[in-house]
Structure 1
Amino acid sequence: MQTALSANQADQANQANTDFSGLWIPLVTPFDQGKVDHSALKRLVAHYKGSGIAGLVVCGSTGEAAALDEDEQLATLQTVMAEAPGLPVVMGLSGYHLGKTAARIKALGTLGLAGILLPAPSYIRPSQAGLIEWFTALADVSNVPVILYDIPYRTGSRMELETILALADHPRIQALKDCGGDPAKTRALIADGRLQVLAGEDVNIFATAAQGGRGAIAAAAHLHTERFVQVLRRIQAGDLAGAEALWTPLQPLIEGLFAEPNPGPLKAVLAGQGLLRNELRSPMTRASTELAERLQGLDALLAA
């Protein structure tokens, strides 16, 4: 149930308001002989910053954040922000210790981020009341907007519609990365209108945007980025036929990119383009040769 904001909460909401509309790229993290490859990271940022994207997400699941220690995560974020001044950057932040996660959010809030992408605590599997406590406590200490990350197949916790609607009252919680796998819940959240709903499953970008979603955080958009941008822009402009004509050829590529664990297939294609080395951190592994060759063919076909 919605409640009236206090004057202080309203001021906080206005100060922290961010428009998350459009296409966000959850940036891969390049490696070179086991270390973060900051030269390749700069190359990636330069490659994407003029493509029409809304911004970049650092240290999401596509960025293999779970394989980076805190110092590496911070250094990766600093490299990205230094390379693209003025381009909004969101930081992914996961954890299961409330105090430590809150301390990190406080520290990151001083760096000029556009937002924090925050999932449920992994492994713990709290109740819905526990999820409300978790997100509320962390949003309370954040100086920047929070994007809820609903991804039950990674966290083990399903965020029910009523839980997300309750959290939408918080002045810092402004958007949702939707990987919940429930089309009815997606439609209800879009209809509610308090949160900016962003497609988090790449196959759902068109459907989510066509129903009124505000954009997407899409790993597949590392490739043919301008086409993804145009799909969203045409939907926003009401040109569904034009958007669908651009979208349909992307679907085999999207399917292939997730045929094996992300970001292995994606890194194989990016390595073929000379943007980074085809290297991941264990237990993530490189894409199979067969899939990599198929993806390179699909990529070339779209570029033709």
Structure 2
Amino acid sequence: MQTAPHTHQASQANQAGPDFSGLWIPLVTPFDEGQVDKPALKRLVAHYRGSGIAGLVVCGSTGEAAALDEDEQLQTLHTVMDQAPGLPVVMGLSGYHLGKTAARIKALGTLGLAGILLPAPSYIRPSQAGLIEWFTALADVSAVPVILYDIPYRTGSRLELETILALAGHPRILALKDCSGDPAKTQALIADGRLQVLAGEDVNIFSTVAQGGRGAIAAAAHLHTERFVEVLRRIRTGDLAGAEALWTPLQPLIEVLFAEPNPGPLKALMAQRGLLRNELRSPMTRASAALVERLQRLDALVA
């Protein structure tokens, strides 16, 4: 696979605003007997802060944001930001009430975030015109850049290529977390060059970045973080053979990490590393014992 030229895309992105290139970790939320485990959260930030990542995403789907109330989400965000001065932090923000979501975006705009990660409204399944209205209205009130989150299997709404291209003209919509599973759409958006395309499906990191995507928001990168960072670095410098040699052992582990609902398998391995307790909020459940055994074997092969 050949690398796509980056010069034109990079110059456009730099003119538009912040650079979201590189590896972003959508941070898990640790729990302790049902409560957000702030000491563990601080340790996680300290653990990843110096690993070469571009930044952290708080309250994404990997962070079990849907199981946190608004106060817990804000406390989690403040804990992470206080522990990571100088490290860019993006906040995930989902909702289906336009007014309430807009009010939250306005409040978050005063906190010094690098951006907002914004999916389509869940459950409603609006038309493409409705999706353009939704994202435009929220980007209009945002003081920080917006990263579109195209993840139809969670929201029930697919962002069509024409819709994303229309939204790319908004001055505060600068990037896309791509979980669409549509390679042709991914290629078209990279070629368009206005949005910084970030792989959102971990199995697609190599292909997306090798084609000119800017980076990834990758749950699996909680593990072997420096290796993920190095894969992206080598792709950017044109060392595809070296990148692929590092990437190939990661692929089986990535696939099994998502064999049961995320972040159950991920938390199981992180708990074995002493990073947090193996605890999730219902209806999320711990990974099965059989899956954890498979993960342990694959994890050892990467190391």
Taking structure 2 as the reference length, the TM-score comes to: 0.95
1:280 and 2:284 correspond:
no
1:167 and 2:129 correspond:
no
The alpha carbon displacement at 1:297 in A equals 2.2
Give the RMSD, CA atoms, in angstroms.
1.2
Within 5 Å, which residues of 2 pair with 1:1-304?
17-303=17-303
Instruction: State how far apart, in whole Å, the 2-side matches of 1:296 and 1:16 are.
Output: 43
Instruction: State how far apart, in whole Å, the 2-side matches of 1:243 and 1:274 are.
Output: 29
Instruction: State how far apart, in whole Å, the 1-side matches of 2:302 and 2:241 are.
Output: 19
Taking structure 1 as the reference length, the TM-score comes to: 0.94
Give the 3 Å change call, closer, same or farther, for CA 116–16 of structure 1 in structure 2.
farther
Deviations 1:205-228 (A, max 9, x none): 000000000000000000000000
The alpha carbon displacement at 1:300 in A equals 2.3
Give the 3 Å change call, closer, same or farther, for CA 14–302 of structure 1 in structure 2.
closer
Deviations 1:33-66 (A, max 9, x none): 0000000000100010000000000000000000
Structure 2 unmatched runs, 5+? 1-12
Structure 2 counterpart SS, 1:91 = strand
Instruction: State how far apart, in whole Å, the 2-side matches of 1:179 and 1:151 are.
Output: 5
The amino acid across from 1:62 in the alignment is T
Deviations 1:121-152 (A, max 9, x none): 00000000000000000000000000000000
Instruction: State how far apart, in whole Å, the 1-side matches of 2:274 and 2:294 are.
Output: 18
CA contact (8 A) 2:16 2:174 kept: no
CA contact (8 A) 1:16 1:143 kept: no
CA contact (8 A) 1:102 1:138 kept: yes
CA contact (8 A) 1:25 1:218 kept: yes
CA contact (8 A) 1:198 1:217 kept: yes
Question: Quick one: percent identity of the two aligned structures?
Answer: 89
Structure 1 unmatched runs, 5+? 1-12
Instruction: State how far apart, in whole Å, the 2-side matches of 1:150 and 1:118 are.
Output: 9
The alpha carbon displacement at 1:108 in A equals 0.3
Structure 2 counterpart SS, 1:265 = helix
